[in-house]
A = this chain, B = another copy of it.
Amino acid sequence: MENLISNIKEVKVHGRTSDNRAPLTLFWTASGFECNVSGSQLWVEVEVNYTNFEPWFSYTINGDWIGRQMLTKGRYWICLFRGMNPEKIKNVHFYKDVQPLGGEENSWIQIHSLRYDGVFFQVEDKPLKIEFIGDSITSGEGLFGARQEEDWIPMFFSALRDYSYLTAKKLNADYRVFSQSGWGLYNSWDNNPNAAIPKYYKEICGFMTGKEAIALGAQEQNDFLAWQPDVIVVNLGTNDMCSFEQPEWKNPQTGETHKMHKNADGTYCKEDVALFEKAVVDFLCLLRECNPKAKIIWCFGMLSLDFQMPIVNGISNYQDIKNDQNVFYLQLPETNDNNVGSRQHPGPICHAQAADVLSAFISSHLN
């Protein structure tokens, strides 16, 4: 039997997207759908769109990782399982395995229909909701591929080896990821002030600016009331740190330039650091406005702690202003020779270590 996903109400959607289910559009890493279904087989009809970068997907059955493959362009059917005991209900979770590719105008996976011979059952919400906000680390860059790999391609990103997935699994949480490789809190690794996560936090996927993306709802306001996280994990600052070492960024349209500076003695320029610290305060205010009750944990350190003090200063300033006791600072384990992945990024071991630290911290602060 084939049916449009929009007709199967028991299917649960994960990740920020519009209300449209005909088809369901997946932008973000770890976005996808989940279902409980009986029957011997399940197929999914995808439609895949991109300019240069094929997205990948992974899926789990009953919580265990089963497959991971590249999705080339087009509309076609994929078999998720066949030959299973038709009586038993299987939990199937389809994950987009790569972030939205900000440089592309039309990069997403769409889910049209399912083919099956069983019955769908409701997927209950997990008792905890977590939102992860970050950069390439949170996008799982470097979690696949040999250590020497240097190509920036979706193949080397992973949702399921990421600390976000692992943390949510340990805590039995539903989760969303809002992350862009290279982006920062105040500016990107190469000093682009537009590649700043806070500027897009209120939209579904606001930096997708193509006509088609807009038609699919990328620019719509995210419905925060519909999904309020209990915990927000912010893992930003690494690219801001890098930008002090990089040349200035020049806006190709306007010619305007921007750069974070170091002093002659190698220290960070105080005025620039102050801009960053203010951005911390502002982003915390924005997060609190959108998520009144969430515990907010700012994590840092997987790729060097060097820029730690501006983060904690920003958090401290925010706490002084708002007297908000629900904002925390947590260091995560640093990448080293034993836990590094590809592209000089934290590898699977480092992400597993981070998930241990983070999930323990969250547990102890939820009691």
Contact = CB atoms under 8 A, between A and B. Distances in A.
Interface stretch (A121-129, A183-191, A197-205, A326-334): A326-334
A69 to B, nearest CB: 4
A122 B149 CA distance: 21
Nearest to A52: B83
B331 A360 contact: no
Contacts of A286: none
Interface in A57-109: 61-70, 72, 79, 81-85
A329 B309 contact: yes
A145 B64 contact: yes
Contact of A153 (B64, B83, B151, B357): B83
A316 B312 contact: yes
Contacts of A65: 144
Given A61-B145, A146-B61, A334-B360, A329 B342 contact: no
A267 interface: yes
A70 B357 CA distance: 35
A107 to B, nearest CB: 13
A135 interface: no
A357 B301 CA distance: 12
A54 B150 CA distance: 34
A309 B318 CA distance: 12
A325 interface: yes
A181 B8 CA distance: 38
B83 A151 contact: yes
Ranked 8 nearest A-B pairs via Cβ:
A62-B146, A69-B69, A64-B146, A331-B331, A312-B312, A83-B153, A84-B151, A67-B69
Interface of A: 52-54, 56, 61-70, 72, 79, 81-85, 144-146, 148-151, 153, 155, 267, 305, 308-309, 312-313, 315-316, 319, 323, 325, 328-331, 333-334, 336, 342, 357, 360-361, 364
17 contacts: A54-B79, A54-B83, A56-B67, A69-B69, A81-B155, A84-B153, A85-B150, A267-B325, A305-B330, A309-B319, A309-B329, A312-B312, A312-B313, A312-B329, A313-B316, A333-B357, A334-B364
